[in-house]
Amino acid sequence: MATQYWLLKSEPGTYSIDHLKKDKKTNWDHIRNYQARNFLRKMKKGDLALIYHSNEDRAVVGVSKCIKEAYVDPDPEGGDWSQVDLGFVEKFKFPVTLATLKASPKFGDLLLIKQSRLSAMPVSKKHFDDILKMGSMK
């Protein structure tokens, strides 16, 4: 199966790319939006995900890899939620800001711009490659 590409959001004060780099792997949990949950459930082992720092940074800051597909994320209220396990791949030299993405017409159909509240979303290979390139060089 071909690699799929994703974007996952986190508040850097809660869990940042630096945390993932230090820990080398983590479970990506506490996603409480049905559409984002459904996207998580589509992630496959080996898929790559851009890590986006929301709130104060508002920038794509690195890349992770799905190392364990969706499994139950326990909810004390009994909700039907899922989580995945991620491994660290790369921290960008240059964060790719939301403002930069919004300013470029080629990212007009990026879900991060169209549905900014989602914490997990698919990304096309073209968008993934373009953002990866932007994060690696000034």
Amino acid 137: pLDDT: 64
Amino acid 53: pLDDT: 97
Beta bridge partners of 102: none
Domain definitions of the chain by residue range: 5-136
- Tell me the pLDDT tens digit for each residue of 65-122: 999 999 999 998 889 999 999 999 999 999 999 999 999 999 999 999 988 889 999 9
Name the pLDDT band for 138 (thresholds 50, 70, 90): very low
Average predicted confidence (pLDDT) for the chain: 95
- Tell me the pLDDT tens digit for each residue of 9-22: 999 999 999 999 99
Q: How far apart are CA 96 and CA 135, in angstroms?
A: 6
- Tell me the pLDDT tens digit for each residue of 29-47: 999 999 999 999 999 999 9
CATH of 5-136, one of 3.50.30.50, 3.10.590.10, 3.60.20.10, 3.40.50.150: 3.10.590.10
Burial class (CB in 10 A: 0-12, 13-18, 19+), 58: middle
* CB contact at 8 A, 122 and 111: yes
In the DSSP assignment, the letter for residue 119 is: S
